[in-house]
Amino acid sequence: MLSVYCQWLTAVLLGLSIVSASADTLSKIEHIVIIYGENRSFDNLYGLFSGANGVQNLTPEQYRQTDHDGKPFTTLPPVWSDDRHNLHSVDHQFAGKPLLPNQPFRLDAPPYNLPLTVPTRDLVHRYYENREQINGGKMDRFAAVSDAGGLVMGYYDGSSMQMWQLARAYTLADNFFMAAFGGSFLNHFWLVCACTPVAPNAPASLVSAVQADGMTLQRKPASPPSARDGAPQWVRSSALTPDFSAVNTMQPPYQPSRIPPAVGGAPALADPANYPLPPQTLKTIGDTLSAKGIRWSWYAGAWNLALADGMQPPSAPRQIIYNSEDGAPNFQPHHQPFNYFANYAPGTQSRAEHLKDGSDFLQDIAHGTLPAVAFYKPQGTLNQHPGYAEIMAGDAHIAAVIAKIRQSPQWDKTLIIVTYDENGGFWDHVPPPPGDRWGPGVRIPAILISPWVKKSYVDHTQYDITSILKFITKRFSLEPLPGVRATMGDLTSSLLDER
């Protein structure tokens, strides 16, 4: 009996020592940097990563895609182009190539040979479409629902990426999910507030036409009978749910916004007649940090240029916002979540203190003056978003930023989290865990880099984007945000038990 008691006591004391060691490690982290990339599923970039749950050795039951009627494809649908005037044309990068097999395929290998330096077309990544693609966890309707057909099943050998090498050196999380179904707009909100914005009293034209199940979009009568014949056509896939939750992109009420100021109106405001999202009032991680007197900033590449661009008269051309010219900055206003909140409206002290340009980020790194929590959003051409950005330029940029942090005076006290807002419409084979109406959605890459994380480690703990909020809240003893999911880990499994 004494022996059993001693074994029990030893286990308890060992457990306490591990908890104490983890807590001690957590206290060593004084600066948390979140770098938020764009639109890549885990399998799309890291499916071949050794030791991770990737695309190797999958069974047909895990990857086989079906049409919207549930019948398996013999071959995948063609890769449809994004030509709005010819909805049945094949994308030029795949024209004349053989039909895709009904399985994952290498984009950067024969017969397609699309290197990581060449962008593919963009793929649909919207709330209702993503829910239908996931199909209750079967993960088998991605090709059927996408406007890009078989492209959804494409992936790369990402081993040439600098971020791949950092993932090998530090911690790669391979069970990390986007917080919300759909696209960048909603997942940026979930990064900062674990909440879904609302637009009460919006016009009916902004409300999606949903079937009686409340989950599936209504198809037009003329929608192709099979995804092999063309991309599906919806009655209305719009910004809002029938109860006025904003799930797809709406523009900020403040500049920079894709909606210019009203004629004769305040230049810092988007024209309300063109229906920007109303200023939001739910509590954010910024609010909870400020309430404890903890310094934080949201840094955005090209923010200052885009602000000047957006405040021009409405007749002036926008040269930074959604710019598509080669080599010029490309600023995406819907990637700036704090710019939607009343607490950070133009003219407020909070806006001046917390919303900053990417150049300020680099200066703070160099001077060792990073705040306790720093969010960094690369400008469009450097964020790896399909359609307007390629992978390697963003990879080089993010790796260079990390190299600067590792050379900075604050490195020994810093944790860097590199992840993606959402999957960008690309398939992943791992079903998301049970959640709520909003998510979690598809699995995405996440890399943790710090002197205080486990080295050459693949973390299989279940996480989603709200795990970042949970980690920040735990580290700085903040008021918890109600939307953070209790079922998700808090990232501490990646920390060293001791240095």
Tens of pLDDT, residues 96-119: 998 889 999 999 999 999 999 999
Q: Does a structural domain hold residue 289?
A: yes
What average pLDDT does the segment 183-195 reach? 98
For residue 323, name the pLDDT band (cuts at 50, 70, 90).
confident
Enumerate residues 6+ apart whose C-beta is below 8 A from 233.
87, 219, 220, 222, 223, 224
What is the per-residue pLDDT for 328? 81
Residue 351, both tokens = 């806006």
Enumerate residues 6+ apart whose C-beta is below 8 A from 349.
none
What average pLDDT does the segment 222-241 reach? 96
pLDDT digits (tens, 9 = 90+) for 246-255: 999 999 999 9
Q: Does a structural domain hold residue 320?
A: yes
Q: Does a structural domain hold residue 234?
A: no
374 residue type, one letter: A
pLDDT digits (tens, 9 = 90+) for 48-75: 999 999 999 999 999 999 999 999 999 9
pLDDT digits (tens, 9 = 90+) for 351-383: 999 999 999 999 999 999 999 999 999 999 999
Residue 45, both tokens = 């970039």
Contact 271, 260 (CB under 8 A): yes
H-type helices in 250-379, by residue range?
Answer: 285-291, 303-310, 349-354, 358-367
What is the per-residue pLDDT for 100? 87
Domain extent, residue 258, equals: 28-48+158-194+250-494
409 residue type, one letter: P
Portion of the chain with pLDDT greater than 90, in percent: 89
Contact 174, 494 (CB under 8 A): no
Q: Does a structural domain hold residue 1?
A: no
What is the per-residue pLDDT for 21? 44
Mean pLDDT of the chain: 94
CA 320 to chain centre: 22
Q: By CB neighbour count within 10 A (0-12 exposed, 13-18 middle, 19+ buried), where does 259 fall? A: buried
What average pLDDT does the segment 121-136 reach? 97
195 residue type, one letter: C
Residue 393, both tokens = 């330029």
Contact 270, 251 (CB under 8 A): yes
Strands 31-37 and 105-106, bridge-based pairing: unpaired
Q: Does a structural domain hold residue 78?
A: no
Enumerate residues 6+ apart whose C-beta is below 8 A from 413.
28, 29, 30, 31
Q: Could you list the beta-strand ranges (E) of 38-177.
A: 105-106, 154-155, 171-173, 176-177
The total domain count for the chain is: 1
Residue 262, both tokens = 């009203």
Q: Does a structural domain hold residue 85?
A: no
Q: Could you list the beta-strand ranges (E) of 421-483.
A: 446-449, 457-459, 463-464
Contact 313, 261 (CB under 8 A): yes
Residues 245 and 474: their CA atoms lie apart, in Å, by: 29
What is the per-residue pLDDT for 23? 75
pLDDT digits (tens, 9 = 90+) for 396-437: 999 999 999 999 999 999 999 999 999 999 999 999 999 999
Q: Does a structural domain hold residue 268?
A: yes
Question: Angle at Cα 92 formed by Cα 89 and Cα 93, nearest 5°?
Answer: 130
H-type helices in 328-441, by residue range?
Answer: 349-354, 358-367, 391-406
Give the DSSP letter string of 207-246. B--B-TTSSSBPBPTTS-SSTTSS---BS---SB-TT-BB
Contact 421, 178 (CB under 8 A): yes
CA 460 to chain centre: 19
pLDDT digits (tens, 9 = 90+) for 435-472: 999 999 999 999 999 999 999 999 999 999 999 999 99
Give the torsion sign (CA, 356, 359, 362, 365). negative
Contact 211, 234 (CB under 8 A): no
What is the per-residue pLDDT for 498? 60
Residues 49 and 46: their CA atoms lie apart, in Å, by: 5
- As a three-state string, the secondary structure of 124-154 is CCCHHHHHHHHHHHCCCCHHHHCCCHHHHHE
Q: Give the CATH number of the domain where residue 287 resides.
A: 3.40.720
> Is the peptide bond between 409 and the residue preceding it cis, with omega within 30 degrees of 0?
no
Start-to-end CA span in the chain (Å):
37
Looking at the whole model, is its pTM more than 0.85?
yes
Contact 181, 327 (CB under 8 A): no
CA distances 295 to 108, 335, 353, Å, are 43, 21, 9
Residue 475, both tokens = 């580290």
Q: Does a structural domain hold residue 167?
A: yes
What average pLDDT does the segment 133-153 reach? 97
- If residue 14 lies in a helix (H) or strand (E), which one and from where to where? helix 2-28
